[in-house]
Amino acid sequence: MSGAIVTSKKVWQRHDRKTQLAVWAAWLFGTAVFVYCFQLISERTIWAFVWDAPAQAADLGARMVPPAWSYIHYLWRPIWDTLNIATLGTIISIVIAVPIAYCAARNTTPSVAFVRPVALFIIVASRSINSLIWALMLVTIVGPGVFAGIIAIGLRSIGFVAKLLYEAIEEIDESQVEAVRSTGASAAQTTVYGIVPQVMPAFAGITVFRWDINIRESTVLGLVGAGGIGLELNAAITQLYWTQVSLMLLVIIGTVILSEWVSAKVRHAII
Amino acid sequence: MSLALPAHRTWKKPPAIKRAWLRWTLIVGAAIYLSLALGTTHVNWSRVWEGLPRGMQFVTAFLPPDFTSRWTEIVEGIAETLWMTVAATVVGIALSVPVGIGAARNIAPLPVYYFCRSVLAVSRSFQEIILAIFFVKLFGFGPFAGFVTLSFATIGFYGKLLAEDIEDMDPSQAEAVRATGAGWLQWLNYGVQPQVMPRMIGLGLYRLDINFRESAVVGIVGGGGIGATLDTAFNRYEFDSAAAIILIIIAIVMAVEYSSGYLRRWVQ
């Protein structure tokens, strides 16, 4: 007996044959879907324009430098407006979102059968309509300007804040609530001393995070007439003042990076 | 010897911010900011007041939603949006993988790292809608501009999260694969990729969901899809058709959200 004879050399494979086939089938299906979608897009595309794009981009780029630095004096006011739209909008959304989150969380809602579905629907409706579409509608109702922007940002943020907040409420430690309740606290006292301290850090984090997103979104609300720097950007684009456009883009990048930095710092300090 | 306890000391909730000076600075600062912000925000209250009955008219014009009279346009718009979303998600993710790998500090050399990080920063700072304005100018009206916009925006989102995930991975597993003498690509494929894959599949589905939502507005500036149909409906004052479109968007977003949540649980 001279030990086992290895007849065929076995090579290590990551998957067995069945998994391998399944992976291939998934790739095939995915590729087919993508090619189909892309073909439908390309049918509606005028390719001459696309091939022309590099030349167009170079032309546009040449027109955009140097940025019209002197125009910055006219931009302070729109920047301030943008900041206000984001901040006041966030405040409005918090005021509305807190009670909605309270109604939507499974452990605090007054009624699982009636109140909770309504609260969840409000959350989904607010989240699925983009702030630009909200602004489009509000500009028609309350007139163009900062106010429409504030309300649009507020309505749009309700869903986001309420969703994250109600998830935080559902994850709280029930024993602490129980402990507060066992001292004979009323329902309101239980909420204030048992639930609020537990969700406070999450709440502050969510608020700052949403404020950061709102700064980003409020820079473009002006495109539909809802105030802020987007209004100036739209005017500059339609009048083909490309040097002003490039200045505004730089200002927007600056504002966004600054707000992201602030929000990261604050969240770091809280958590 | 007795400890002198004050007679009536009641317990008070500790303040949220313990340092008194910081607390008061924040409170006073917030008060000053709010008064300034509210003071300089010009609200034309008479216009708002005037608008409220108009708002009621607006809301009643939405009801009942009219699905029938623009049905063919709506279906076409939705279909276009779906193609755009799928194609842009695929291309965006495919492009963001190399950028994301390059932007992970633990596996990329420093020059590559800075280059990829700046690509991500540019892609993330601009709203989809601003990108769309420029891409429509470059590529002409239609779904192609929207497709490029969404792909570009996907790079920033997905690349950044991929880079962060790679930075958080367990180095010992990758080390073990390298110790077998694997080449760089093999190392990436067997040491790094399995660690980040489950989360990245979930994020890909999430991005598909975001791209659908964003594609609804990219159309407003000429990027094709349901956004264009919605904008047309608003411009023609066909608010009942607009209401129908908005309801369809909400329904699809809800469906995508639930199915992607379900898929994510199934994958993980």
> pLDDT tens digits for B100-142?
999 888 888 889 999 998 888 888 877 888 888 888 888 888 8
> pTM, whole model, 2 decimals?
0.79
Query: What integer is the mean pLDDT of B234-262?
Result: 81
Q: Which of B144, B216, B250 sits opposite A45 (nearest CB)?
A: B144
Residue A71 inside a domain? The answer is no
Query: What integer is the mean pLDDT of A63-82?
Result: 85
* Domain range list for chain B: 70-267
Is B42 in Cβ contact with A142 (below 8 Å)? no
Is B250 in Cβ contact with A125 (below 8 Å)? yes
Indicate the pLDDT class of residue B246, thresholds 50, 70 and 90: confident
- When mean pLDDT is compared across A70-74, B143-147, B263-267, the lowest value belongs to B263-267
Distance of CA A221 to the CA centre of its chain: 14
How far is Cα A89 from Cα A140, in angstroms, rounded to an integer?
Answer: 18
Task: Using alpha carbons, list the distances in angstroms from residue A57 to A40, A47, A64, A186, B223.
Answer: 25, 16, 10, 66, 17
How far B196 CA sits from the closest chain A CA (Å)? 17
- When mean pLDDT is compared across A74-83, B1-10, B19-28, B111-120, the lowest value belongs to B1-10
How far A141 CA sits from the closest chain B CA (Å)? 5
Residue A161 inside a domain? The answer is yes
Indicate the pLDDT class of residue A127, thresholds 50, 70 and 90: confident
Mean of all residue pLDDT scores within chain A: 85
Q: Which of B41, B83, B246 sits opposite A37 (nearest CB)?
A: B83
Residue A53 inside a domain? The answer is no
pLDDT at B91: 92
Taking alpha carbons only, the member of A41, A190, A116 closest to residue B85 is A41
Which tokens is B143 given? Answer: 């779904």
pLDDT at B7: 63
Q: Kindly state whether B233 is in contact with chain A, defined as any CB-CB distance less than 8 angstroms.
A: no
Query: What integer is the mean pLDDT of B223-249?
Result: 83
How far B101 CA sits from the closest chain A CA (Å)? 22
Nearest chain A alpha carbon to B246: A129
How many structural domains is chain A composed of?
Answer: 1
Query: What integer is the mean pLDDT of A178-194?
Result: 88
Is B216 in Cβ contact with A193 (below 8 Å)? no
How far B227 CA sits from the closest chain A CA (Å)? 9
Residue A27 inside a domain? The answer is no
Is 70 exceeded by the pLDDT of residue A256?
yes
Is 50 exceeded by the pLDDT of residue A1?
no
Residue A17 inside a domain? The answer is no
Write out the residue range of the structural domain in which residue A101 sits. 83-270
**Which residues 131-150 in chain B show a CB within 8 A of chain A?**
133-134, 137-140, 142-144, 147
The reply to whether omega before B64 is within 30° of 0 (cis) is yes
Task: Using alpha carbons, list the distances in angstroms from residue A105 to A110, A172, A195, A199, B250.
Answer: 9, 11, 12, 12, 22
pLDDT at A5: 57
Indicate the pLDDT class of residue A154, thresholds 50, 70 and 90: very high
How far is Cα B110 from Cα B145, in angstroms, rounded to an integer?
Answer: 33
Taking alpha carbons only, the member of B248, B205, B234, B227 closest to residue B128 is B227
**Which residues 141-200 in chain B show a CB within 8 A of chain A?**
142-144, 147, 190
Residue A52 inside a domain? The answer is no
Query: What integer is the mean pLDDT of A139-148?
Result: 83
Answer yes or no: CATH 1.10.3720.10 is held by domain B70-267: yes
Q: Which of A87, A132, A257 sits opposite B217 (nearest CB)?
A: A132
Nearest chain A alpha carbon to B33: A84
Residue A6 inside a domain? The answer is no
CA angle B156, A151, B32 (to 5 degrees): 90
Residue to mutate among A14, A46, A137, with most B CBs inside 10 A, is: A137
Residue A26 inside a domain? The answer is no
> What is the per-residue pLDDT across B133-174, written as a single tens digit (0 to 9) for each?
888 888 888 888 888 999 999 998 899 889 888 888 888 888
Query: What integer is the mean pLDDT of A229-256?
Result: 87
Q: Which CATH number belongs to the domain containing residue A241 in this structure?
A: 1.10.3720.10
> What is the per-residue pLDDT across B17-39, written as a single tens digit (0 to 9) for each?
777 888 888 889 888 888 888 87
**ipTM score assigned to the predicted complex:** 0.75
Is A145 in Cβ contact with B42 (below 8 Å)? yes
Q: Which of B47, B58, B253 sits opposite A143 (nearest CB)?
A: B47
pLDDT at A162: 92
pLDDT at A95: 94
Is B40 in Cβ contact with A237 (below 8 Å)? no
Mean of all residue pLDDT scores within chain B: 83
